Structure 1
Amino acid sequence: MRYLIIIIICLISSCSEKSEIAQIKRIDGSTIAEAELDTNIKTLVDTANVTGLTVTIFNQDTVAYQKAFGFSNLNKKDSLNLKQVFYGASLSKAVFGYLVAQLADEGIIDLDKPLQEYFSTAIPELQFEKEWRGFKNLSDDERYKKITARMCLSHTTGFPNWRWISRTGEFTPEGDILFYFDPGTDYSYSGEGMMLLQYAIKNLTGKGLEELAKERVFDPLKMDMTSYLWQERFEDNYCNGHTTEQKVIDKDKADEPAAAGSMSTTPVDYSRFLEKILALCSLNSPVTKLMFSPNIRIKSKKQFGPLSIEKSNANDSIDLSYGLGWGILKSPYGYGYFKEGHGEGFQHYSILFPEKNIGILLMSNSDNAESVFKEILEIGIKDIYTSWYWEDYIPYNEK
């Protein structure tokens, strides 16, 4: 009888511990049961026609919740799983920001030194295998001499996002790179700026992006299924992107590393990266201090499109800003550090609240995913501070 009582006590204790583990902590101090979160997410995925979505929530610098919903390929009815390779899109920039912050902390690069000083040739005269990547048409505009690493990572170079797309989102077939404003004076999201910094770092260190990333990020964090280049080992383990009509998109394989957006990764791998960032914040690391120091206040109505050139005070309450490859916002629960990813068929978002040791990662292979981000952020971690309108995360039931 005595042993039976001991067994019962142990079972009760075990059930109690499982119950506690199943409660996900949120930034306002509340919790949500794992089963309730499952139900809410599945309902949103089904209602908004999100083909596939993975949700990861971090509590105390570690994964507290991580699940996949929907399909990796709708035509085949293959279930999505957490170890499948996604096109990471601009999540690439967050990793690059971390890498450059390490180099800056070690004194290898000066964030405020003009990049021109890291080249022996004038930037407009640099030679590229793909000629269209060059900067020849800036030869008569010496503002290129002012551009620094900090400006590239904070999106203040004055360049468009991509040379074949205007600042307002119109296609420009001539593909000439140009300045929309003086470097360092305003915010305008720019992959072109990231690429210029990538070239400068390669020239400075003698190492390419993939080599540096493997050495400093992917290998130390055991991100074995992550790369800025497509790898053969990804072939049998990737998910397809899907359009808003849920049509399958063929895989586009990166043939050259691009800090601005060529990275492939898995939810499991990228979670390891975010865990590392949260842990460094807990240690008051000089690297995360560099990354998360605001460099520019953002006053645009939206991040992209015609409204990106219109000014607004709508985000003053959250001090919307940009650091080194990451966006920054203020909440009653401390600062939030965020990074999006958006490419054809893939939509992602991550935000960390280090003062609460809480964060969330959303990774999707659907062009409908951003329509549920606002609600999942609120349900999952009580994040009502992400500027969903500025991000253009318009809810599916408001379109």
Structure 2
Amino acid sequence: MAACVAAASPALSADYKALDAEAARLMAVGKIPGLAYAVIEHGKVVHVSAQGWANVEQKRPLRTDTIMYAASISKAAFAQYVLMLVDDGKLDLDRPIKAYLPKPLPDYPRYADLAGDARWETITPRRLLTHSSGLADQRFYDPENKFRFNLEPGTRYAYSNEGINLLQFVIEQGLGLNVGDEMNRRIFVPLGMTRSSMIWRLDFRPNLADGYHEDGKFEEHDERGSVKAAGSLDTTIDDLAKLAAAMVSGQGLSAKARAERTKPSFPIVSKTQFPPFLIVDNPDNVKIGLAAGLGVVVFDGPQGHAFYKGGHNDITDNQLVCIERGERCIVLLTNSGVGQRIFPPLVAAALGDTGMPWAWEYGRALPVEAP
């Protein structure tokens, strides 16, 4: 297996040799084809590493500048942009979205299914970012392929990709802003994230990571042709490390907006994150203050207040975990549907005991050691 390591300085590179070795060991045990990760300390990127294969069959090594699919970590990046709009005075987190739209939401063809249901008028940007709107997760899961409420708005956390994309729609229709272009202008370019985009770019093709299912079956990297705030970000570990550092340090935001991201805006009482509308609760969640922040999940662990965001599909498994004290993070990107096999021990090796609610995130307790 090939490896590529970049660090802030030669001295720091030497400090992380043991962590790289542990990552390589876990990858082999967990049968993970490719892993890219970065460590942030005191709000600065101190180590970036890529190991394994971007494409196993072609023996193409994963590099720190290889394009990987961020999946739902896109939501955290989008929330960073939304908070910038809040700082600009263009968006109020608690103002109903109807105040921003030129016409009622059901008058737009994409949302016509809500005609006659006045509950949409209670939706706010905060409810959409905290998955507390009650809206369906994905309309294609619906037996009739309709967009509808599955719960009363504001009653409980229930993951909704549709809700995040609705906020994108409100910004584009109501404020006249192109979210993909604006995220590039306001986040990616200033941070030097030159190989990141919310929509497919042709220059990504020569150096990107393809994906692998749990059984090892290959699937080609998807070329996403439209911006989806809920999950269309293509990026690299070099780039995403810069965004994580900005998020944990508050770069680009006022102190008030930074605090909005990580305050517990809405309590999470569910036993697991998925399926989102399974009404089974875990009273122990309150012990760690498990709650929705804006585009992230927050909790209180052994090292204090923390936030994280995962990103998953059948060929992708990613995690961003940050601890506010010391402005510390680890970002993990894999081109495997089962990257979670190695996340708990690798996060612990990099950051120590974080108290991450793995069982809630993945619907089951994860092994301390890879299988």
Question: Does the alignment reach a TM-score above 0.5?
Answer: yes
C-alpha distance in 2, partners of 1:102/1:223? 17
Tell me what 2:366 maps to: 394
Pair 1:223-2:228 in alignment = no
- The superposition leaves residues 102-125 of structure 1 with CA deviations (integer Å, 9 ceiling, x where unpaired) of 111221011111111211222111
For the pair shown, the structure with the greater C-alpha radius of gyration is 1
SS at match of 1:164: helix
Q: Report if the CA contact (8 A) 2:35-2:333 is conserved.
A: yes
C-alpha distance in 2, partners of 1:193/1:174? 18
C-alpha distance in 1, partners of 2:253/2:153? 33
C-alpha distance in 1, partners of 2:83/2:26? 37
Which runs of structure 2 are paired with 1:1-399 in the superposition (5 Å)? 22-23=14-15, 34-127=16-109, 134-165=110-141, 172-280=142-250, 285-305=255-275, 308-392=278-362, 394-395=366-367
Tell me what 2:4 maps to: none
Q: Report if the CA contact (8 A) 1:223-1:272 is conserved.
A: yes
Letter paired with 1:148: T
C-alpha distance in 1, partners of 2:10/2:205? 37
Q: Report if the CA contact (8 A) 2:303-2:354 is conserved.
A: no
SS at match of 1:101: helix
SS at match of 2:116: coil
C-alpha distance in 1, partners of 2:20/2:102? 56
Unpaired segments ≥5 residues, structure 1: 1-16, 24-33, 128-133, 166-171
Q: Report if the CA contact (8 A) 1:52-1:72 is conserved.
A: yes
C-alpha distance in 2, partners of 1:262/1:284? 26
Q: Report if the CA contact (8 A) 1:337-1:353 is conserved.
A: yes
Change in Cα spacing, 1:232 to 1:66, as seen in structure 2 (3 Å) is same
- The superposition leaves residues 8-63 of structure 1 with CA deviations (integer Å, 9 ceiling, x where unpaired) of xxxxxxxxx9777744xxxxxxxxxx232222211110111111111211112112
SS at match of 2:330: strand
C-alpha distance in 2, partners of 1:101/1:306? 25
- For these two proteins, the number of residue pairs brought into alignment is 361
Letter paired with 2:329: G
- The superposition leaves residues 193-231 of structure 1 with CA deviations (integer Å, 9 ceiling, x where unpaired) of 111111111123212111210121111111111111100
SS at match of 2:207: coil
Letter paired with 1:155: H
SS at match of 2:139: coil
Tell me what 1:3 maps to: none
Change in Cα spacing, 1:104 to 1:284, as seen in structure 2 (3 Å) is closer
Question: 1:173 deviation in Å?
Answer: 4.4
- The superposition leaves residues 181-202 of structure 1 with CA deviations (integer Å, 9 ceiling, x where unpaired) of 2211210011101111111111
Range 134-143 or range 265-274, more displaced: 134-143
SS at match of 2:63: coil
Change in Cα spacing, 1:306 to 1:323, as seen in structure 2 (3 Å) is closer
Q: Superposition RMSD on alpha carbons, in Å?
A: 2.1
C-alpha distance in 1, partners of 2:197/2:270? 33
Percent identity over paired residues = 29
Question: 1:283 deviation in Å?
Answer: 9.1
SS at match of 2:294: coil
Unpaired segments ≥5 residues, structure 2: 1-8
C-alpha distance in 1, partners of 2:59/2:187? 34
Change in Cα spacing, 1:229 to 1:307, as seen in structure 2 (3 Å) is closer
Range 266-275 or range 112-121, more displaced: 112-121
Change in Cα spacing, 1:109 to 1:379, as seen in structure 2 (3 Å) is same
Range 203-212 or range 48-57, more displaced: 203-212
SS at match of 1:269: helix
TM-score by length of 2: 0.92
Question: 1:328 deviation in Å?
Answer: 0.5
Change in Cα spacing, 1:397 to 1:352, as seen in structure 2 (3 Å) is closer
